[in-house]
Structure formats: C-alpha cells, structure tokens
Structure 1
C-alpha cells in the first residue's frame, strides 16, 4: 500500500503573494526517529505505513506525497521590537491541510526541509537537537492541556548541518490549526495592500472563527477573538512556569496556539524575571513580561486591521483601543482563576489574590521550585507533614503562609482528599525540565541513543500522574545540572 494524505489546500488557493511554491529538498538517508502514532490516527493517517521507509521519505521531504501543494508562507514581523518587512518560512514547507477526526482543519508542515525564497542565505535545514526539543516540549504542552502546535514525527536526514560545528540533521513534521501569524498580517499591511489584509482576515474568520462570518462588524470581532485567545493562552503559560523565549510577532499565532519552540524553557526555581533565551539579552521576553508583550503584539495586529474598521482613522483607532482594552481583564481573570485552583480554593473571597501573591513572593525570595511547590501543596492539603516546606530555603516562610492558607481553605466545604485531587489535576508532577531535555539531546547527538528521548516523552505524556517508577524526572536539577541558557534552532 502507498502512504496517503487526504490533503486539502485552502491556503495555497489564496493569491500568489501569500506564499512561494517550493518543494522540499531531498535528503540523503531518512530514518524515522519517532512517529506520534495517536496523532497520526487523529489526522486520519495510517501510522503503520508512515513507519515504513516510504513514510520516512515523505516525513523527511525526500518524497512529496500525492495531493500535496508545497508552499513557504510569506510573513513579516517585529523581532525584539524591530520590524522586518519580510521574513517568511525560511526552513519550513507546508505540504497541505487535512481534516482530522474531529472535523478540524490541520496544517502539516515540514520544518528543516531545505531552503526557500525566504531563507535569507540560510540553509533551510534543522539540527537534530532543536527538532527533539520541539517534539518534547510541544507534546508536553499538549499533555498539559495548553493550546499548541504538535509534533507528528521526527526524522533523521542522514546528513549534517553546519552551525558552530557540524551537527546531525533532522526534520520535524509539525501539525497546527494553521501557521498564520500576526506577522502574516504585517507582511501585507507594510505594503499597504489593504485588499490582501482583507482577504487574509476573511480566510482566518472562515478557518478559525466561523461564527463571526455573518456579524455586522466581523473584523472587529476577529480582533476581539484573537485578543481573548491570546490572553487565555498567556495565562496558561504562566500557570505552568513556561517561558516562550522569543515572542516576536512572527511567533504569535492567530489561532491562539503556542507556536515556534525555539529557546523556550520551563522555570525551575520561581523567578518572575527569569530569562533563558541566549538572544534575549535585555529580558524583553522574561517570564513576567509575557502578558505585556502579548498585548504589544496584539496592538500590532490591530494596526494592520484599522483600514478594515473604518475609513476614518481616529474612529478606527478608538474602536481598536476599546477591543485591546479587554486583554488585561481577560488575562487577569484567567490567571487569577488558575492560581486559585493551584492553591486549592474552590470559591472566590476577598483577600485571595493577596494570599496567593504572598506565596509567590515567598517562593521567589526562597528560590522555591515552581512546579514542586504547587504539587506538594496539594499533598499538604491532606497531610500537615507533606514536604512543601522543603522547597523553601527558610521553611519558616512557608509555615507562616501555610497557617493563613489552612484557615482560608477551611472556609470551603470540600474535603481534604477532594482538594488534593483537584490540585493535582492542575499542578503537574512532571514538566520538561531543561536539564532532562538537554541530556536527551546529548544522548541522541553524541551517541545516537534515543532511549532517553523515548522515556522522557513517555513520562511527559502523563504530567499529572504520580508515576512512581519515574519520580526522578520530577526532581529539579542539581547545581551542576542547571541550564542557564537555551538557544534558537538557527
């Protein structure tokens, strides 16, 4: 049998200015590293066929499957606040779209599949390490319940790529609700091509916000919809200690998914100013800055949509500002509700926000592990001797706060075991610890050993379960294991 992708290609049916048609560059000797079998089934694909040499050749870009219409998408973007009028897919090629088992249209894209007209002198390839990182973290985010692009497969190319040194090459097959970004709108707005902006907005509404099509002001509603999704997304990032690392407008998805896992990381010790990305020298995209940057990015989207709002500039600006004004409240509502769940509060009372902020302040001062503090707090709901206090350099700081917390949770009617179960359902035991991800990458790159990768992916697929056989994966790094910087895949 032949591998079959039931492709539909709505984006490549848009005008030629939206993309460049380009085929993947064949690779020497593709070898499948990992196929996400459950995702393949969800997409209506045959995982057994994808695991054959023919499937590996398609997933590596050596063979273009029937029905594909390969394109590199055009977009612009603000990178660390500086506008670049043309970026585009420099090392990614969209093969096409499929309708999954739930009726949702999904892009299937090859990342690291060779140069495109947007490569800007780059080789268009990806090294093995960043491919494994994106596979691990994107699938972990999915398991955590956070909207995200997903990873269908990782394939070794049999070739090397040149970065600082020669590194083994790989291709990631990425699946997304779409790859349309704030920067996609900016690409056309910068060229004052209002008709293209309108065409793109109409496409986005049909694909992601179909309920808006018949409204009197669909473009206003589109901006409001993206604002709402982004506000909720960033709240969910903060609730698990995730730092994107490079929140440029070209990495801000219109669908509301997390996209482009470059120098991303999860915090170990809680620090609102935490930065891991080696290219974020000024801390623009630090953990606590992410809500502010998301609103900044959304403001850039609003600027693109102004001509669709009104011919009167002042009126259009006022309407956009009114819509953008909802971001802060939407984010705060989602974030505070999530924090209440993390500390086991079932009702909302005066003083809750201050109580939770006192915990966060104590965690920052005492270098408490973000993930384990909240997880162990769930255990402390049923056992006073649980070791949440062990996360603090000065355990007395936790004891003082815990006394007030116990008085507060006593005001709710739920039992201790109900509270623990509810807290464990939102406070993961396992996250992609940076030192674990790095160890997996080193084993693969240096020793061609993928057993650690397989095990880590397995553990992270059940982040809220205790998994007694894998408790070491919950441990924070020892001092000599700490990862201080993460790096962009290019």
Structure 2
C-alpha cells in the first residue's frame, strides 16, 4: 500500500467503555467519486495518487497501517426525548492523527453495521454522501467551522430504503467526533472514571487553557454561540440539533436533513422528521442553549461541590443568549457593512429581515444585492425598501469602506437545495459532472463568475424542495 496516514489514535487509548473496536465491512466494487487532495496534504497524508487504492481504503476494503478502527458510544436527547444509548450505527473511526494544526479524526460513514446499529444496515446511499460532501465543503469555504469531506466512494452495492438505491461511503474529517451525548452517556451511567478521562481528553484536544469543568463549559458555550450565529448569517438550518449531533469542538457535524433557505422566514423547516418545527431556523439559538444545559448537567459529577456547580453552571447557561445575540449582531452587522455594530443597530437589521420575510425575498441574493446597490429589485413593495434604505445609508455614512466588508460577508453562492437534489439525481444515473461542477463553484462562494451565474438562481416553482431527509 502506497497510501500513508500518520495515525496516532489518542481516542482509542481512552477507557474501553467509550467505544467498540470495529472493522469496516468490505464492499463488492468500490469506485472513487471524489478525493480532497488539498485536505489530505494538510493532514500529512502521502501516497494518494492511486485512485483505485483510494477507493479500496475509503470504502473500507483495506485498512491503512496504524489505523485502529472503532465505533464510538454516545447517548442523546433526540427532539427533546432521552435515548440512553446511541453510538456510531453506520460509522467507523479509522483513527485520529496529530498535526501542526491540531488533532483530527478520520471517519468512514456508511461503512457497515456496528454494535450500535440498532437493526440498521450501517450503510449510506449515494444521495446523503453527495449532500454531505457538498455542504460540508461549502461551509468550510464560507468560513464556518465544520467537519470536512476527504473522500466519497461508490460501493457498487445497492442499499434498500423506500426503494433500491446505489450505496456509497463518505470519509469525513473532524477536530473530533466528541459530542454532548458522549458526556451524557457516561454521566447517566454514573461512570465518573470514564467521564473524567473523556473530560481531560477533550480539554487537552480542544480547550487546553480550561482548568476546570466550568472553564470547559464556558469555552464550549462560546464556540457554540459563535457557530449558531454564523449558521443564521448564511440562512443555514441544521435540521436535527439533537445533543448527539452537537460537537463539543464547535464544528458543524452530521449533515442529515440540513438545508439553506431560499426565501427568508424565521420558522423555515425542511427536515422531514421535524414535524413540530423544534429545529426551525429561528429556533436554533434557543436549542443550542438547551443543548449546553444538558452538557452542564453531565459535567456536574466532576465538581467537588454539586450545589455550587449547579449555581455556577446555571449562570453560564443564562449568559449564553446574550452571547449569541452579540455574535448575531456582529455577523449581520458585517452583512450590512457595519464593522462595529451596537445594540442600536438591531432595529436596522431586524427591519430588513422583517421586510424580507413579509415579501418572501431570497435570503442570499438580497444580502448580496446590497453589496451592489441592486437590492430593491428583491422586493415587491419597493417603497418600504426605499424607506429602510435611507436609514441604512445614513448609518453607512459613518463607516469606512463598508462595501469591502459586505462583499466578504455576503456569499454569491450557496448549495441551494434544488441544485443539490439535481446533482444527486444525476449521480444516481452515474453522471457526476454536475457534482464536480457545483463542488468547484462552491469552493469560491464570494467570487461570482459568468459561468456560475445560473447557480445563484432561486428555484422555479416546480424545482422547490419542500423537505429534506435524514441519511438513514
């Protein structure tokens, strides 16, 4: 094997109750769809020129030297309901490696059953693999913390869902796959030894300046407050913000029924399983606070004084909504060209958002048009826009070079749902040219070109995607 990955496997050195050793299940005829050469080089991976070998490794047929494959255990609140044991039901962590930029996991997703599969087949079909590859790499290009896509491979084997579909495996890279639910499962089992080992590993890996569980909690809160504000600033809806899908690193993880909005509305929901709108666009700030409260509860057993811990942790949680508002104000202020927005600018930002919602304006195109002076065309009631614009212009007159800030803050391209669905349908028919074209365009989301202008168009009425689905 020429492929070399410098695995170190720190997670595998944690207490054995945190995982199950698990080899991927081989497939019949793997074929490489995509490989992220730039990411591989950043990770110190070498010898990746043989596409056939890449297909074998990243389908799970061959195991790289020094890998120690395992499936991680975790629990979680799913739509607010406690599930005491979940875990990697269709994923295998090949291992983690230490680089100059930090430690990273390399995980196969869709690589076969594990002890946590809960009667599932452990497989992924092609659609969710292409979706996660496109969306995770798009989020990275947008500057939003996220897992990355290293490889996508067809398995050559069918997957049975509502109908028979082509199978695939995605290889994703993360600062770690440690979730709120990883802490929850140990706390629920009163496994203090395991909980402390996980805490020390997470601190060393993600927040090395934290010296206490309270420091750690505040650091995770800060990372999540920043992340969710960035989601809101690009119209992203995660779709399934369960605690088992909430990474303590502050990265976006688990691209299941996620989506980007076209027309703006605070209560937009795409996820087919979110029937009550728990994880709607505008609910995401409240949900992340709720998730952090569950993390706090899981950390209480590590504190010497439980009553004092509850007091301190509660104060940290109660401070989080204002921290999210601060991050939201900075993100949306930048989209309006305001380098140092204040609370007084909230009315200006909310005024635009309310008008966009009332008039069904396209989220991405409206903000991008502000950068070019053509936003009025996005509104049906142009008189209302002109009135708002006059107030905005007066505020902009106090700024230096706001246009440059706006161009850097308002993407030209996002992975629109109807375009992703078109890519998936083409892939099912063995045509990956649309996938590669969209992927290349999304790598430069702030730089529009004539040959990608069609990718900025909102969906026609017959192209609208009304629901997105979990990868399982």
TM-score by structure 2 length?
Answer: 0.98
Q: How many residues align?
A: 472
Q: Distance in 1 between matches of 2:257 and 2:341?
A: 36
Q: Distance in 2 between matches of 1:461 and 1:395?
A: 34
Shift of 1:349: 5.3
The correspondence for 1:264, drawn from 258, 262, 266, is: 258
Kept in 1, the 8 Å contact 2:15–2:197? The answer is: no
Secondary structure, counterpart of 1:254 in structure 2: coil
User: 1:433 aligned to 2:426?
Assistant: no
User: 1:225 aligned to 2:219?
Assistant: yes
Match in the other structure for 2:81: 82
Q: Distance in 2 between matches of 1:5 and 1:296?
A: 38
Shift of 1:99: 2.4
Map of 1:270-419 to 2, 5 A cutoff? 270-311=264-305, 313-348=306-341, 351-380=344-373, 386=374, 388-412=375-399, 414=400, 418-419=401-402
Shift of 1:459: 0.5
Shift of 1:184: 0.3
Q: Distance in 2 between matches of 1:486 and 1:272?
A: 17
Shift of 1:348: 3.5
The correspondence for 2:199, drawn from 201, 212, 216, is: 201
Shift of 1:406: 1.2
Range with greater deviation from structure 2 (419-428 or 68-77):
419-428
Shift of 1:111: 0.2
Can you list the C-alpha shifts for 1:23-70, whole angstroms capped at 9, x where unaligned?
000000110000011111111113643x43122100100111111100
Kept in 1, the 8 Å contact 2:3–2:47? The answer is: no
Q: Distance in 2 between matches of 1:315 and 1:9?
A: 36
Kept in 1, the 8 Å contact 2:149–2:170? The answer is: yes
Match in the other structure for 1:488: 470
Q: Distance in 1 between matches of 2:469 and 2:227?
A: 23
Q: Distance in 1 between matches of 2:342 and 2:310?
A: 37
Structure 1 residues 234 and 350, CA gap change in structure 2 (3 angstroms): closer
Q: Which runs of 5+ in 2 are unaligned?
A: none
Match in the other structure for 2:9: 9
Match in the other structure for 1:383: none
Range with greater deviation from structure 2 (51-60 or 252-261):
51-60
Structure 1 residues 478 and 114, CA gap change in structure 2 (3 angstroms): same
Can you list the C-alpha shifts for 1:346-394, whole angstroms capped at 9, x where unaligned?
34456311111111110000000111111000111xxxxx2x1111122
The correspondence for 1:127, drawn from 125, 128, 142, is: 125
Can you list the C-alpha shifts for 1:89-135, whole angstroms capped at 9, x where unaligned?
000000011223x3311000000000000000000000000000000
Aligned-CA RMSD value: 1.2
Map of 1:16-95 to 2, 5 A cutoff? 16-46=16-46, 48-49=48-49, 51-95=50-94
Shift of 1:421: 1.9
Range with greater deviation from structure 2 (62-71 or 274-283):
62-71
Kept in 2, the 8 Å contact 1:37–1:47? The answer is: no
Kept in 2, the 8 Å contact 1:41–1:47? The answer is: no
Q: Distance in 2 between matches of 1:172 and 1:390?
A: 40
TM-score by structure 1 length?
Answer: 0.95
Q: Distance in 2 between matches of 1:222 and 1:408?
A: 39
Can you list the C-alpha shifts for 1:422-476, whole angstroms capped at 9, x where unaligned?
101010000000000000000001x200000000000000000122221111111
Secondary structure, counterpart of 1:210 in structure 2: coil
Secondary structure, counterpart of 2:151 in structure 1: strand
Q: Distance in 2 between matches of 1:66 and 1:52?
A: 18
